[in-house]
Amino acid sequence: MAFKVNYNQQRAERNRAKQAKKEAKLREREEEAARRKAEREQVHGASPDAPVAETPDPETPAGGTDGTP
């Protein structure tokens, strides 16, 4: 005798497959964006939105501007 059809299980399998497909597509998009960003930074040097590292001013005391060591 054949098993009774389990629609909830079939639906869960379809939903899992759909979610896995979405995640794979998102992962591919993120990898592509990261590749383009790395390529752009390589061509143009540092990215314009990257924070600029400040060099310490040799005339200011090492403890800071409030005079504490």
Mean pLDDT score, 12-33: 98
Query: How many CB atoms are located within 10 Å of the residue 41 CB?
Result: 13
Q: Looking at residue 2, what is its pLDDT?
A: 84
Residue 9 lies inside a defined structural domain of this protein: yes
For residue 3, name the pLDDT band (cuts at 50, 70, 90).
Answer: confident
**pTM value surpassing 0.75:** no
> Number of structural domains, the chain?
1
Of all residues in the chain, the percent with pLDDT exceeding 70 is 64
Domain that holds residue 7: 1-43
DSSP assignment of 5-67:
P-HHHHHHHHHHHHHHHHHHHHHHHHHHHHHHHHHHHHHHSS-TTSPPPPPPPTTS-TT-SSS
CA 53, 57, 63, 68 torsion-angle sign = negative
> For the CA atoms of the chain, what is the radius of gyration?
28
